[in-house]
Structure 1
């Protein structure tokens, strides 16, 4: 099974494709789309959509998992984050990928065993679980792999 995990953002969107085989977990692709905050918002949304479509076409995931919106004090930020999540989910839907959503707390609990874990703790656990020589960088990319791993655990527990 192959899962595309996404940590959405309006300036940085992390993504990671994780595969489970008989030998364990393997990161197929890890990356981040970094956008300029000076670029128009619609243009940034298009780039998020286009990049995720590229990843889907090149890596052929079976399912898509995305982090839900975290608490935002600023309504304008929350709305923009919702747009970023929307175009990411649209990319998955346009490629007929089943989509699941997980809160940051659920992801941390599934990966680290502590829903209040720090991003660095998540990053180190992802490194350990995947047997990587170095922690996946930047944190947005390791968060995306964590979302994929969280979904993988959920799928496995249903079987």
Structure 2
């Protein structure tokens, strides 16, 4: 717990990745996709990535919701990290639940393709079982918003 996964540890083999679709309101449900400690899964760290194309170099405001620990990389550079763990001082105001109120940060984008990579850790002290894990991310100031 509390150890940042190096960007270089993200899987590079295409077979390690699968396409998923976000659920209602942009939730990426890691419990559904890779399992959770409630079912006894051993996976505690998962990566998600996407490509965002920007017509110019810019910085966008982002809201993020998650449970446990999260690290957000843009083009290989860490731009946000946070903890939201029930029972610890790191718990967020949303009752340790996934909420876009959990955190905000600036997403630095270059002109052209930008890789957004997110590492989410499902760890809890003492292998505590729980009801799930996931994340959601919303960018502000996009056309059509």
TM exceeds 0.5?
no
Q: Which has the higher contact order (CA 8 A, sep 6+)?
A: 2
- TM-score w.r.t. the length of structure 2 is 0.28
Q: Which has the higher helix share?
A: 1
